[in-house]
Amino acid sequence: MDAWGAAPHQPPLPAARHHPLPRLNNKSSARIGRRDLVLRSSELATLAAIFHFSGTKPSYLGVQKRPPSLALCPATNNCVSTSERISDSNHYAPPWNYNPKDGPRGKPISKDEAMKELIEVVTKTKPDNFSPRVVEKGDDYVRVEYESPIFGFVDDVEFWFPPGNKSIVQYRSASRSGFIDFNANKKRVKALRLALEKKGWASESTFEYESA
């Protein structure tokens, strides 16, 4: 302080310099985006390990008695079945014939041979990376569980060889949980059909199951 009791004059402080943040170029943004994606994928994988949404096998699976057929679909849009009526475009799918008329086979194959071809195609075809596992196999019935790569969602797919002289295979593909499947079941059935067509199978597009 001076003789008058006043504080001596202080020169003003220099203004603080603002250093702009470095701008991220497209490559840096891409690296951050990929890193964030990896972190999020790891989080999803951790959740998938903790929460395994396989669900419980529905009690109504298998060949129904009255009338003999596979089960109908629920009202949700995550199921297709040959047991539905053709008019139900959301759920109906035509059955397959392993000895179609005017087909490419030199001679008809037996039901046992057809089942071997079916199981071979099922185990080698993985639409949407769902992993197939044959869990039931009888003389005329096969059930496969398809498990999703994330969260372990399970879809039940059934195949039935009805008795009689016709070389027909009925099937049903349905998700255990949820209300929509983003056409996963339809895409699965289509992928299997295309693989079976290479072996001489065909769709019975005019077939309709008539309930009693």
Question: What is the Cα–Cα distance from 2 to 12, expressed in whole angstroms?
Answer: 19
Residue 61 has a pLDDT of: 95
Question: Mean of the per-residue pLDDT values for the chain?
Answer: 80
* Cβ–Cβ under 8 Å, residues 171 and 159: yes
102-142 pLDDT, tens per residue?
A: 888 889 999 999 999 999 999 999 988 899 999 999 999 99
**What is the pLDDT at residue 128?**
83
CA distance 113 to 115: 5
Nearby residues of 165 by Cβ (< 8 Å), 6 or more positions away:
none
Please choose, from the candidates 166, 168, 165, the residue with its C-alpha nearest in 3D space to the C-alpha of residue 94. Answer: 168
| Predicted pLDDT at 72 | 96
pLDDT of residue 54: 63
Residue 46 scores a pLDDT above 70: no
Residue 19, pLDDT above cutoff 80: no
Predicted confidence at residue 124, as pLDDT, reads 95
Per-domain boundaries in the chain? 79-203
Q: Is 79-203 a domain of CATH 3.30.310.80?
A: yes
- pLDDT confidence tier of residue 91, bands split at 50, 70 and 90: very high
Lowest mean pLDDT among 55-59, 88-92, 121-125, 198-202: 55-59
DSSP state of 127: G
Q: What is the pTM of this model?
A: 0.71
